[in-house]
Amino acid sequence: MLVSEPWPRQVVVADIDNEGKNDLLSAEYHYYSCSILKKDGSGSFLTQEIHLRGHNPTRILPVDLYGDNCLDVAALNNGGGVCIGMAE
């Protein structure tokens, strides 16, 4: 499996951009970030699209927070706190 950084705490599969292809979301505990790798048409993953900065994220959740039919990303940080990435 391909992830953007070593030591992912959690990897989630979701169609984050509503293109009908499953993308990878990764919470990278030791890199203080969460990454999204979008799947291209050939079955490979494109370079990471965004980073959510937090403090040692342990969980990542794709969820439609605003009811606009677009998946946003919420990440739970170690020791408390949440980072939110809104869909564009």
What pTM was estimated for this model as a whole? 0.74
Please tell me which residue, 6 or 42, carries the higher pLDDT value.
42
Q: pLDDT tens across 57-79, in order?
A: 888 889 998 898 888 888 888 87
Q: What integer pLDDT is reported at residue 87 of this predicted model?
A: 61
Q: pLDDT tens across 20-46, in order?
A: 889 888 888 777 778 888 888 787 887
Give the Cβ contact number of residue 37 at 10 Å: 20
Please tell me which residue, 54 or 3, carries the higher pLDDT value.
54
| Domain-wise residue ranges, the chain | 8-85
Long-range Cβ contact pairs of 77-85 (< 8 A, separation 24 or more): 78/29, 79/55, 81/54, 81/55, 82/54, 83/34, 83/52, 83/53, 83/54, 83/57, 84/52, 85/34, 85/36, 85/50, 85/52
Q: What integer pLDDT is reported at residue 13 of this predicted model?
A: 92
CA pseudo-torsion sign 11, 70, 45, 6 = negative
